[in-house]
Structure 1
Amino acid sequence: MKIVKPIIDFVMDILETVVFIGSMFIVVYLFILTPNQVKGASMENTFRTGDYILTSRITYKFRKIERGDVVVFKSPKNPDIEYIKRVIGLPGDVITISKAGVVKVNNIQLLENYIAATTNLWDGGCIKDNVPYTVVAGYIFVMGDNRPRSSDSREFCAVPVENIIGDVFYRYFPSNVIGVISNPLPKSIR
């Protein structure tokens, strides 16, 4: 009996530790950080299929969404699908895109060194050639960095802010591109 009690105490200590660590993991996962895997080519060359990223669920509780942020959000067409896109327009912004691929926000051309191909327009989409599109309150306008291969606000219009899961702030795989994800836009136009 003297040997059994220390073994039971030891097992209980381990069990308490496992439950505590598991509880902390669940809290962090549900309320603070969410790991995501990039699927699809819509954010190339910034992200590639198979990249692993961390999404902060609390960033926007401490600061406002900015143009240039990369966000993960629930699709406005199907809430079971999550997208990763870059914020281009904020509530009240006026977006215009020309057939030549020029993107303007509030009549200022975006200089987007993070995109590899020019911006195209979608037939039947929300944006028409040089026709101003105003982002209404409570919504954001998003586009993928790989414009020809991205389903985004050009197609399904602005996204409700409530659909945002979080801000992509860190890539942890593959090892050759590990690091913090920074906003490439100048502070003056964020």
Structure 2
Amino acid sequence: MFRGFFVKTISFVGYTVQYGCIAHCAFEYVGEFVSCSGPSMEPTITNHDVVFSERISRHLYRIQKGDIIIAKSPSNPKMNICKRVIGLEGDKVCTSGPSDIFKTHTYVPRGHVWLEGDNLRNSTDSRSYGPIPYALIRGRVCLKLWPPQSFGVLAESPNDGRIL
């Protein structure tokens, strides 16, 4: 009797480890579900929206201008940020705010991207902390899942003039 219980327990632990490894690989290399918070991406993504972030594009270096990405925050590595890619390495981007009289520009260095939120007036982004290393990118947002009435592919940037 004890032997049968022991075999069943070991078998259960084995299956749990196998499925845990499969789930880990899927979330690490394929994609993940992310609940977004904060106003920086409004109106495209609002507080508590759930999106799917795929990770294959990041591994293949296929992130493009206009993509919305999930990245590690350069100021707090325990936190993720959700922003739109405005500039890739070698691009010249406007680093001043929309209401500034004198416009300043900077070049995005090699291996970095320039990120900004769609809600320019209420977003802490590359205008505050500068370009971020490509290695901090976790994935590209490709689908909004929640709320149900917003399900689908994400809209283009409401700040069309900002994508250079």
Question: TM-score, normalized by length of structure 1?
Answer: 0.71
Distance in 2 between residues matched to 1:98 and 1:40, nearest whole Å: 22
Per the alignment, residue 24 of structure 1 pairs with: 22
| 3-state secondary structure, aligned to 2:48 | coil
Q: Secondary structure at the match of 2:59?
A: helix
CA-to-aligned-CA distance 1:95-115 (integer Å, 9 cap, x gap): 12565x2xxxxxxxxxxxxxx
* Two-structure CA RMSD over aligned residues (Å): 2.9
Gaps of 5+ in 2: none
Instruction: Check whether the contact 2:96–2:105 (CA below 8 A) recurs between aligned residues.
Output: no
Aligned length: 160
1:76-155 to structure 2, matched below 5 A, reads 76-96=74-94, 101=98, 129-155=102-128
The answer as to whether partners of 1:96 and 1:129 remain within 8 angstroms in 2 is: no
Q: Distance in 1 between matches of 2:45 and 2:13?
A: 40
Amino acid at match of 2:48: G
* Structure exhibiting the larger radius of gyration computed from Cα positions: 1
Change (3 A) 1:13 1:181: farther
Instruction: Tell me by how many angstroms 1:64 deviates.
Output: 2.3
CA distance in structure 2 between the aligned counterparts of 1:8 and 1:96, rounded to whole angstroms: 65
Whole-angstrom CA distance in 1 between matches of 2:71 and 2:40: 14
Structure 1 residues 183, 63: CA separation in 2 closer, same or farther (over 3 Å shift)?
Answer: farther
> Could you tell me which of 49, 61, 65 is aligned with 2:47?
49
Note if 1:178 corresponds to 2:151: yes
Structure 1 window deviating more from structure 2 (18-27 vs 166-175): it is 18-27
- Sort the Cα spacing of 1:162 and 1:72 in 2 relative to 1 into closer, same or farther, 3 A: same
Moved over 6 A (4+): 7-15
How far apart are the structure 1 equivalents of 2:102 and 2:25? 46
Report the CA distance between 1:179 and its aligned residue.
1.5
Unaligned stretches of 5+ residues in structure 1: 102-119, 122-127
Query: Equivalent pairs: percent with the same residue?
Result: 28
Residue 23 of structure 1 and its aligned partner are, at CA, apart by: 2.8
Matching residue of 1:73: 71
